[in-house]
Amino acid sequence: MLLGIDVGNTNIVYGVFDGAELIHRFRVETGRGRTADEYAVVLRQLLAMRGVEASDIQASILASVVPALTEPMIGLVRAAFGHDPVVVGPGVKSGMPILYENPREVGADRIVNAVAAFERYGTGLIVVDFGTATTFDCVTPKGEYLGGVIAPGLQISADALFARAAKLPRVEIAKPPRVVGRNTQHSMQSGIVHGYVALVDGLVDRLREELDYPCKVVATGGIARVIGPLTRSIEDVHEDLTLEGLRIIFERNARATAASGGAERA
């Protein structure tokens, strides 16, 4: 089995693959103060709940946008499973040309999402990832990563409103009954949810105007299933896109390593 680890600023998502099938997924809160041993204990308990033994995990791959947690995650894999993970970054073969001015600046999750989306759809793409930040990543019809947009995430925007407006209460992030709120709660929910829908549609419109090719718009991330259906631009939602991308990149690197080893033996 393959373990995929997606380390984000808000959550860490673990995925267990049996071949190409994602059989288990766990989402835990990102805790920057935890040690590798603490992470290892928590993950092994989660796996045990699903009947997965540590010996079943034969390989791992990691993508992290939190530099302070990269080494603890590597330590977690070593402590829990006895091997080193593949870490998405410079030197790892993604199979996707990066057209960013400085490819090292692109977050690992953005590349992983782009790889998975192009593998799945095989066309020009705008990939919207609803995370701590909301990213819009553009992929050309040739399968090249072009660049994109980084916007404040919905939860960040809502938290700023709650914190800075003394008379406004904290409300659940949910679609209100109508756009015109008849009370403070619904008015705030309308501004948060429908305002963010407008941000997504507006940015997608501007990206499509600038790109010189047709593109499909797909979404992933924690609240994609809440926001996606309310937009007019998002055509598909794939919750596990990042984990799928990790699996694809792992397999590409495993094939490359096997081919290289075969050439050396020959």
Read off the tokens for 76.
């977690």
Q: Which residues contact 207 (CB under 8 A, 6 or more apart)?
A: 126, 136, 138, 148, 149, 215
- In DSSP terms, which residues pair with 137 in a beta bridge? 127, 148
Q: Which residues contact 180 (CB under 8 A, 6 or more apart)?
A: 190
Phi and psi at 12, nearest 5°, equal -110, 130
Q: Which residues contact 245 (CB under 8 A, 6 or more apart)?
A: 63, 111, 112, 113, 114, 115, 116, 117, 119
Whether 129 is catalytic: no
Catalytic-role residue among 6, 56, 84, 109: 109
Look up residue 29 and give its amino acid: E
CA angle (35 as vertex; 31, 39 as ends), nearest 5: 70
Q: Which residues are catalytic?
A: 109
